[in-house]
Structure 1
């Protein structure tokens, strides 16, 4: 009887050791190949036209945020400062939404402003008082005229449905910015 108990205990110990080692060496859960496969399935690349629109939209919004920050500091008019705050808030939100969307589409958005845009902002930063306010608002009118046009076209022509929807949903905000910029620019002429 003792021999049977010892033999059973030995067999049980060997079996448990092998079972534990097999689980540790050969997990049945997720393998690296499965992980890579899942990641590739969540990224859905887009066509060149859709990607170009996303990059242009990101550049434009990043520029609006930086110019808005500059105007919050330098503007003389309280209306211009309020407009600048709206630019920072709305365009920061737009960039964040676009970054999230771009991540699911395999689109690489710019991490910073172009050298040309930085120079443009630097030149604006050299102005003061009413001259700054007028130039900033003039640039905002011009920029939003271009943005509204681009987003209207994107809403019709971009082939990626998610980017098309984002463009259409962002367009009313851009039109509101355009109207506000024109009204403030006109008021500064007086």
Structure 2
């Protein structure tokens, strides 16, 4: 009996040491998977996994863009970049509130913070026009990904509310992307 107890404690110890900390997005995905599994067992209606995953990624994107824009409001040296960042911060904070509201309505767990702290840390060390250029490049990359993800949600999401949200938001994201590309072309050919 003592040998079995030692074996179990050792197994539990090594298993717990091997667990990697989950990112906010991974935790939200995991929580939603549990909800979907329990909903399937209880035969209750739930949002399809693609729609849930989309909202998790949308929340992460809105948090990321709002955080980066807030940083750019403080650090940007080019007035056009600074005013663009201010507009993005406001719009992405509003979009994040819409995502939160929709997620609450659909009982979808979303991340409380962005997974992309690496980019925030990198940009916070930049200064002057290097910051401005790197920030605009991050906006372009982030919005390219977001536009693709929202286009996919418009096409493939099964939940009509989530599909409508994606369809309504997509033109704004495309406008942000186009504006960032214009700023890049103007200052960094």
* Shorter-chain TM-score tier: 0.7 to 0.9
Distance 1:66-1:44 versus aligned 2 partners, 3 A rule: farther
Corresponding position of 1:57: 58
Q: Distance in 2 between matches of 1:100 and 1:134?
A: 34
SS in 2 for 1:112: coil
Give the aligned CA root-mean-square deviation in angstroms.
1.3
TM-superposed deviation, 1:113? 2.0
Structure 1 position 136 matched with structure 2 position 135: yes
Counterpart of 1:169 in structure 2 is: 168
1:44, CA displacement in angstroms? 5.9
Greater C-alpha Rg: 1
User: Could you tell me how far apart the structure 2 residues matched to 1:45 and 1:95 are?
Assistant: 22
Gaps of 5+ in 2: 1-43
Q: Is the 8 A contact 1:59 1:110 kept in 2?
A: yes
Q: Unaligned regions of 5+ residues in structure 1, if any?
A: 1-42
1:85-138 CA-partner distances (Å, limit 9, x unpaired): 111111111110111111111100111122xx1122011110000000000001
Question: Hey, what's the Cα distance between the residues in 1 that align with 2:122 and 2:46?
Answer: 38
Aligned pair count?
Answer: 146
> Which 4+ residue blocks in structure 1 deviate beyond 2 angstroms?
none
Q: TM-score, normalised by structure 1?
A: 0.74
1:31-50 C-alpha deviation (Å, 9 max, x unpaired): xxxxxxxxxxxx96301111
